[in-house]
Chain A
Amino acid sequence: MRLKRVEQPAPEFWTQFDKELRAKQLTAILEKRRWWHSFPRAYGLVARHPMAMGTAAALVIGLFSVNEFRGNARAPVAASVDDVTYAPSESVAPTHSETAAAIRVSAPVAERPAVPASRMVSVRTSEESFGQELTSMISSRRPSQSLASISSRDETMQIERDERLEAPMGRSLAVINLAAIQAAEPELTRNMLGFSQNFQPAPASDREQITEPLAQMPSPSEERRARLMSEGLPMMASLESAPAPSNDDVMNRLSDNRVYESISRDYDLGANRLSIKF
């Protein structure tokens, strides 16, 4: 070890050493320090105060976790079934429309994308909601205004036909509902049905002038009888003097089945919805 101690460089070595060191110092001064050179400094700061840094890190993680937990707790589990407007997906088959609607409804309302007006469908998933709407329309005693509001709303909507309406149960419920409404408010029902192109009941004043076409045509037997009577009797019976059929007779001749078939063809009336075609 004493020998190792005397291993010393020559004095001229230090001259060269100083020159090289000066050149390296200048190079180091001119060289830009890279961004990762600050890492050891940050590590040194952490290593110098490990307890403080560890506590701070634990606090930050804890606060973040609490915020996340509160955020999850505040999120709605499921939106209300009523008054939910949604756009059915193109990929969902019509036969699974109920399932698709249930899936859509369970999603948070705020996360739903904007729905184009042409694809909007108003869903009433319960019979009570439909009944409530009709009840409110009836109680307002202003059928023209209610119908106007419905029509204006329907102008912005393209209502899709739901296959559920094709179910016999839905059809029967629709018939029952329509019959009940017709019994309660015949005038309102008549106004509502007036939107149909195929079924346009005329006003009562017009209906009084309508006569049965068959009644206007003279039967061959009557013609023959009239001819015989004209030969034999001076008085001739005129068919024009025949009394016009009453309004009740005309309504009775229209069978209920025809009315309901026409309604079902032009109106998609279900137990829980009303769809109108234009």
Chain B
Amino acid sequence: MLEAIKVIGKTLVASPERVREADDDFAVVRQVQGGEVGAFDRVILKYRGRIYGIIYNLTSNREDAADLTQDTFIKAFQSIHRFQGQASFFTWLYRIAINSTLSHIRKNRGRSFFSLEGVNSDEPASREIIAALTDKTGADRDTHVRELQEKLNEAMQKLSINHRTVITLFEIDGLSHQDIAEVMDCSVGTVRSRLHYAKQLLQAELQPYIGK
């Protein structure tokens, strides 16, 4: 009963786009549960970039992120018969990804190293951001962007796992507080508190670069 009320409440609160997306996901999941295994490829194509981005921003290592993303989809495929539709599919998939990543980080604590993705300056969005962050041109600009990227990832890695997860899901992936609370299995207030504290820590770490 309580679960049903929660689902109805989420449906009423969620945006129409999110509701439509959830319905599409549920239809695909039903197909996979019915034995149409090929339908799971659509799920992979749809979510692989987002899942990879979350894991990459949590680990700051592209190889680990690729492995963990693959493991996430395999686990989801093996456990898809247990998905009952009480939560949205992306929340369920995010939870698998984050739990796998947190387990990996705890296992390899102290043995992490950076393996960062490059910033594609050919894309308009990237070019705009780079232009806003630097006033330099040529090789110096690329070096400056690289240095800034490393400092940002160092600051992220100094955060605790929970704070890193919250700020990744909110600032980079664009999830709402409610969605983050569902993914992390905590209250919305806890999410807000963690988000506020994580931003403060990041600002303190990147203070020399903010004024530039």
Interface residues of chain A: helix, strand, loop or mixed (majority): helix
What 0/1 pattern do residues 19 to 51 of A give for CB contact below 8 A with B?
011001100100000000000010010000000
- Contact A3-B119, Cβ < 8 Å, known A14-B48, A17-B66, A21-B73: yes
Give residues of chain B (125-169) contacting chain A, Cβ–Cβ below 8 Å.
Answer: 125-126, 129, 132-133, 145, 148-149, 152-153, 156, 167
Contacts of A41 in B (CB 8 A): 82
Question: Which has the most chain A C-beta neighbours within 10 Å: B57, B66, B73, B116?
Answer: B66
Contacts of A14 in B (CB 8 A): 48
Contacts of B126 in A (CB 8 A): 6
- Alpha-carbon separation in the docked complex, A20 to B63 (Å): 12
- Contact A6-B152, Cβ < 8 Å, known A17-B48, A17-B69, A44-B82: no
Contacts of A3 in B (CB 8 A): 119, 129, 133, 145, 148-149, 152
Contacts of B117 in A (CB 8 A): 7-9
Question: At the interface, yes or no: A4 with Cβ under 8 Å from chain B?
Answer: yes
Q: Identify A7's interface contact among B48, B56, B66, B69, CB under 8 A.
A: B56
Contacts of B123 in A (CB 8 A): 6
Q: Nearest chain B CB to A170's CB is how many angstroms away?
A: 81
Q: Nearest chain B CB to A38's CB is how many angstroms away?
A: 12
A-B contact count (CB 8 A): 69
Interface residues of A (CB under 8 A from B): 1-10, 13-14, 17-18, 20-21, 24-25, 28, 41, 44
Q: Nearest chain A CB to B209's CB is how many angstroms away?
A: 10
Given A4-B171, A20-B70, 15 further pairs, Cβ under 8 A = A1-B172, A3-B133, A6-B129, A7-B57, A7-B116, A7-B117, A7-B118, A8-B49, A8-B120, A10-B118, A14-B48, A17-B52, A25-B77, A28-B78, A44-B82
Please, could you name 9 A-B residue pairs with CB atoms under 8 Å apart, sorted by A? Answer: A1-B167, A2-B133, A3-B119, A3-B149, A4-B172, A6-B123, A8-B120, A17-B52, A25-B74
Contacts of A5 in B (CB 8 A): 129, 172
- Alpha-carbon separation in the docked complex, A213 to B153 (Å): 133
Question: At the interface, yes or no: B30 with Cβ under 8 Å from chain A?
Answer: no
Nearest B residue to A7 by beta-carbon distance?
Answer: B117
What 0/1 pattern do residues 57 to 95 of B give for CB contact below 8 A with A?
100001000100111011001100010000000000000
Contacts of B171 in A (CB 8 A): 1, 4
- Alpha-carbon separation in the docked complex, A41 to B148 (Å): 44
Question: Which has the most chain B C-beta neighbours within 10 Å: A3, A7, A21, A24?
Answer: A7
Contacts of A10 in B (CB 8 A): 118, 120
Q: Nearest chain B CB to A247's CB is how many angstroms away?
A: 106
By the criterion CB–CB under 8 Å, are A24 and B152 in contact? Answer: no
By Cβ-Cβ distance, the 4 closest A-B pairs, closest first, are A6-B126, A7-B117, A1-B171, A21-B70
Question: Which has the most chain B C-beta neighbours within 10 Å: A3, A18, A24, A28?
Answer: A3
- Alpha-carbon separation in the docked complex, A78 to B123 (Å): 94
Contacts of A44 in B (CB 8 A): 82
- Alpha-carbon separation in the docked complex, A28 to B82 (Å): 17
- Alpha-carbon separation in the docked complex, A28 to B116 (Å): 29
By the criterion CB–CB under 8 Å, are A7 and B52 in contact? Answer: no
Question: At the interface, yes or no: B44 with Cβ under 8 Å from chain A?
Answer: yes
Contacts of A6 in B (CB 8 A): 119-120, 123, 125-126, 129
Contacts of A2 in B (CB 8 A): 129, 132-133
